[in-house]
Amino acid sequence: MQLEVDIASKAFTNAAGERFEVLADLSFTLGAGEVGVFVGPSGCGKSTMLRILAGLDHDYQGRVTRPDDARIGMVFQEPRLLPWRSVEENVRLAAPHAGEATLSALFDVLELTAHRSHFPGELSLGLARRVALAVPQQWMNDSGDAVRRLVRRYGVTPEQLVVVHDELDLPVATLRVKSGGGLAGHNGLRSVQAHLHSDAFGRVRIGVDKPGSKDRGADHVLSRFSKRERRDIDVTLQQAADAVEVIAEEGIDAAMNRFNRPEPNPDP
């Protein structure tokens, strides 16, 4: 009993009518009890290969021979993008007020600049999941419910979650990365903790400074920044995005070492 695969060519046609080959000259055999692993970057054809093996995609040149009594099971993690909208149009649904510079920076970080005009069906699953953005419909104070659903949907632990939030206890535009710990009176964090039953999630904290009095906290966090603060905050937001990327690639300790700079001493 063995699985025999001989794929001469597999190609896709995009919305512009252009044809792109994703698999070619691929042959292998798996005997009973053997394990095969497909390794490669997003877009190299791993999911396409699995669909062919499972008999879900017949539009290819070659053959796949399975034993008559073979049973093949697969689990897919499909993206949730609107198929009739391009990648950029899907992102704009989640960030309708984002300017061109902000979107360009986002696509550059995600390595999706070349795919802005592509449709979800033209992307590999790995590429599509990079733009699977979620927009919570709850108020900030109730955002833990949305976070709980996302954590459950993607099967991650609280330790793998990073929450980016404003912080009254830090001067305006100050950035701090933190692993777990207290909530500092932040209602959004309190909601996340309550729904996850854990405070072990990472935080990227962006300082907005304290209001003049405690009873003005809500008005303070909803007020606009001054022009000078706006310039500083724009820089900090870019640093916050960089911090999240470092956390994902190198871990939260590396991010804390890189971004948690000492505060300058006040003038004597």
Whether the Cβ atoms of residue 123 and residue 115 lie closer than 8 Å to each other: yes
One domain, residues 95 and 174? no
Whether the Cβ atoms of residue 123 and residue 87 lie closer than 8 Å to each other: yes
pLDDT over 90, % of the chain: 19
One domain, residues 51 and 103? no
When divided into structural domains, the chain yields a total of 3
d(CA 22, CA 33) in angstroms, rounded, equals: 28
70 belongs to a structural domain: no
Going by pLDDT thresholds of 50, 70 and 90, the confidence category of residue 86 is confident
Q: Looking at residue 28, what is its pLDDT?
A: 92
Q: Looking at residue 29, what is its pLDDT?
A: 92
d(CA 173, CA 179) in angstroms, rounded, equals: 20
Q: Tokens 């706006």 sit at which residue?
A: 230
Q: Which of 86, 101, 133 is the last residue of a domain?
A: 133
Going by pLDDT thresholds of 50, 70 and 90, the confidence category of residue 128 is low
73 belongs to a structural domain: no
One domain, residues 170 and 256? yes
One domain, residues 268 and 143? yes
43 belongs to a structural domain: yes
Range of 10-24, 135-149, 242-256 with top mean pLDDT:
242-256
Is the pLDDT at 79 greater than 80? The verdict is no
One domain, residues 54 and 98? no
Whether the Cβ atoms of residue 262 and residue 201 lie closer than 8 Å to each other: no
24 belongs to a structural domain: yes
One domain, residues 175 and 234? yes
d(CA 216, CA 21) in angstroms, rounded, equals: 60
Q: Which of 133, 158, 179 is the last residue of a domain?
A: 133
Q: Looking at residue 146, what is its pLDDT?
A: 87
Whether the Cβ atoms of residue 30 and residue 2 lie closer than 8 Å to each other: yes
| Lowest-confidence segment of 33-37, 45-49, 83-87, 120-124 by average pLDDT | 120-124
Going by pLDDT thresholds of 50, 70 and 90, the confidence category of residue 135 is low
Range of 84-93, 98-107, 190-199 with top mean pLDDT:
190-199
Range of 15-19, 63-67, 191-195, 247-251 with top mean pLDDT:
191-195
Going by pLDDT thresholds of 50, 70 and 90, the confidence category of residue 15 is low
Domain of residue 46, residue span: 2-65
pLDDT tens-digit series, residues 145-175: 888 888 887 677 888 888 988 888 889 889 9
Of 235, 158, 236, 172, give the one whose Cα is nearest residue 203.
158
